Amino acid sequence: MARWQTLETDAPEIARGGRALLYQYGPGLAYLATVRADGGLRIHPFCPVVTDGGIYGLIGDSPKRRDLVRSGQFALHAFSPEDRDDEFMLAGNARRIEDAAVIARVSEVYHAAGATSSGEEWTFEFDIDRALLSLYNPRGVEPQWPPRYLKWQAQA
């Protein structure tokens, strides 16, 4: 598992492209998949925050938060662009952040990006096991497939 800053160092094109996709609509936006207690899956949109070498999320009281506390396994996927099918996915393990200074910093960056919150959320950092960036031609420009796949896996 690695922090976002390791992805930036080891695979800068993936980190740069991934960050651009996460923030393409203003606040960070992605779909977060978590593992239910029965091993099935759940998926919901959320607002990731990339700052200070980490990727974080503020997660309110919900089944997905209970999933993250129990299992931690996650995958997140950036929203799709409007003019092409580029993809950015991360998978790994989430852990709750207890450090008040980090929580305050992430909250500050989260709200500065235009996201809203109830103030009751818990802060999680997403440690990364693997990253995938898929780059396509704009729609209407051939070929549409296959995309250029850029992959990265954290060292064990």
Partner 1 sequence: MASALPEVASASVTAHWQDLTVAEPAMAEAGERLLRPSGEGVAYLATVRKDGGPRVHPVMPVLAGGRLYLFVVRMSWKYRDLARDGRYALHAAAAPEGGEEFYITGPAREVENAGARSAVTAASGGRLGLHDFEALFELGIDRALHTSWQGWGTASAWPSYRKWAAD
Smallest distance, partner 1 to C-beta of residue 16, A: 21
Of 96, 150, 89, the residue nearest 126 (C-alpha)? 96
Position among 5, 24, 51, 73 found at the interface with partner 1 (CB under 8 A) = 73
The DSSP element (H or E) to which 135 belongs, if any, is strand 122-135
Q: Would you count residue 140 as binding partner 1 (CB under 8 A)?
A: no
Position among 51, 69, 85, 95 found at the interface with partner 1 (CB under 8 A) = 85
Give the CA dihedral 77, 79, 84, 90, nearest 10 degrees: -20
Say which DSSP state 117 is in: -
Give the Cα separation of 50 and 73 in Å (integer).
19
Q: Would you count residue 148 as binding partner 1 (CB under 8 A)?
A: no
Please give the size of the binding site for partner 1, defined by CB under 8 A.
36
Position among 47, 49, 50, 55 found at the interface with partner 1 (CB under 8 A) = 47
Asked if 64 contacts 42 with a C-beta cutoff of 8 angstroms, the reply is yes
Smallest distance, partner 1 to C-beta of residue 5, A: 22
Q: Which stretch binds partner 1 (CB under 8 A): 2-10, 14-22, 97-105, 115-123?
A: 115-123
Cα separations in angstroms, 62 against 27, 104, 115, 126? 21, 21, 18, 17
By beta-carbon proximity to partner 1, the closer residue of 53 and 61 is: 61
The residues binding partner 1 (CB under 8 A) are 29, 31, 33-35, 38-47, 60-64, 73-77, 79-80, 85, 87, 89, 91, 116-118, 120-121
